[in-house]
Amino acid sequence: MRAHNFNAGPSALPTEVLEQARDELLDFQHSGMSIMEHSHRGKVYEKVHTEALQLVRELMDVPSSHEVVFVSGGGNVQFAQLPLNFLSPGRVADYVVTGGWGEKAVEEAKQVGRVHVVANTKGADGRFIRLPAESEHHFSADAERAYVHVTSNNTLEGTQYHAFPAWLKGPLVADMSSDILCRPVDVTRFSLIYAAAQKNLGPAGLSILVIDKAFLASARSDVPKIWRYAAHAKEGSLLNTPPTFAIYLVKLVLEWTKRLGGALAMERRNTAKANAVYSVVDQHAGFYATSVEKSARSLMNVVFRLPSDALEQQFLKEAEALNMIGLKGHRSTGGIRASLYNATSEGSAQALATFMNDFAQRNG
């Protein structure tokens, strides 16, 4: 039996996708071998690769002004690769810090050059529970600003940008690792979007990037070629051997996303799932406590606490007995976190909501 998978990443993949991968594993499209065994320069793999890139373009509505690029490695690689490409001597990189991943991104950028924190919503208690208001942002000067980095969904803390207002200066760069394709997003608003694949797009092993071509043209060329986004873009993301099997699975996940109706359908589904869980939290507000500001609540990661550690342990134990897996909060934040990524079904979210309701009634 498949679990109700609330893992924060790597996370649930659509069952249909896994079934298709299983069926094609030994003999991919009558080629006599697994897709894993094909050359990345051969026709069979190349078709998969091109289709995956094309599906990102289609589902994210990426215009011809932007490149779609796959690179090896996840979000932490991008924390370093981004400044290596765009933080030149004499320039400063602006970071809006709204969570633990943003803090890590800042630390990596500091290894490369000058960093300026535009706004930071960390509270006196060390926790992040909100996004900053316009008045809290202090951007560096237009002439020296290399880019402005935001984390669109704070995976650990359960906050998410629901809009990217015009006053948020650019060139705007977003880490969308934990909410890419969870909803429609105006790609033209961004100079660069990056996302590790292992939440909404597939297995771990690569990141998906969408980069404005004009911005890309301004990238540094004095870094090793393998780190240069422009070199990967120029070679169609085949500069070196890419993680072919992961890209194949991303293609299957994107096809599944398309069959369900694309980004808009994902938003509808994700909103229904998140509402199911948040509504129980709100109904039992004295029992389930969430400090996340309502306007910043994430569709992807629902974070809450119970009245005591003992009750949280009991909650996790009972949930596991009901085949609900991955609900323990991140080690840095504690509490409970339900990750409701694209592939987590409405049935799983509903099962969790029903259990939460029952648990509160028995223990509240």
User: Binder to ligand PMP among 14, 75, 158, 171 (CB under 6 A)?
Assistant: 75
Q: What is the pattern of x (binds ligand PMP, CB under 6 A) and - over residues 251-290?
A: ----------------------------------------
H or E stretch including 304? strand 301-304
Residue 20 binds ligand PMP (CB under 6 A): no
Q: What is the rounded distance in angstroms from the CA atom of residue 241 to the CA atom of residue 235?
A: 11
- Least distance from C-beta 329 to ligand PMP, angstroms? 14
Given 94, 101, 179, 212, which residue is catalytic? Answer: 101
* Closer to ligand PMP by Cβ: residue 75 or 242: 75
Q: Does 151 bind ligand PMP (CB under 6 A)?
A: yes
Nearest-CA neighbor of 42 among 238, 269, 204?
A: 238
Tokens representing 214 are 């004009």
Which H or E run contains 249?
helix 244-260
d(CA 232, CA 210): 12
Is 227 a catalytic site residue? no
Among 81, 155, 160, 348, binds ligand PMP (CB under 6 A): 155
Tell me, by CB under 6 A, how many residues bind ligand PMP. 11
34 scored as a contact of ligand PMP (CB under 6 A): no
Show the site string, 79-118: x = touches ligand PMP by CB under 6 A, - = not: ----------------------x-----------------
Nearest-angstrom CA–CA distance, 115 and 110: 6
Of 30-38, 53-61, 173-181, 224-232, the window that binds ligand PMP (rule: CB under 6 A) is 173-181
Q: Where are the beta strands (DSSP E) in 4-89?
A: 4-5, 66-72
Tell me the closest approach of the beta carbon of residue 75 to ligand PMP, in angstroms.
Answer: 3
Burial class (CB in 10 A: 0-12, 13-18, 19+), 241: exposed
- Using CB under 6 A, pick the residue from 140, 178, 257, 270 that binds ligand PMP: 178
Q: Choose between 172 and 353: whose C-beta lies nearer to ligand PMP.
A: 172
Q: What is the DSSP string of 203-235?
A: SSSEEEEEEEHHHHHTS-SSS-GGG-HHHHHHT
Q: Site mask, ligand PMP, residues 188-227, x = CB under 6 A?
A: --------x-------------------------------
Q: Smallest distance, Å, CB 117 to ligand PMP?
A: 17
Least distance to ligand PMP, CB of residue 196, Å = 4
| Residue 339 DSSP label | E
- Cα angle 301, 100, 189 (rounded to 5 degrees) comes to 70
Q: CB of 86 within 8 A of CB of 147?
A: yes
Give the contacts of 254 (CB within 8 A, at least 6 positions apart): 52, 55, 56, 59, 201
Segment 298-327, which members bind ligand PMP (CB under 6 A)? none
Q: What are phi and psi of 47, to 5 degrees?
A: -65, -45
Q: Please pick, among 94, 179, 186, 199, the residue that the annotation labels catalytic.
A: 199
Among 14, 74, 158, 326, binds ligand PMP (CB under 6 A): 74
Q: Are 220 and 91 in contact (CB under 8 A)?
A: no
Residue ranges that bind ligand PMP, judged by CB under 6 A: 9, 74-76, 101, 151, 155, 175, 177-178, 196
Residues with catalytic annotation? Answer: 101, 175, 199
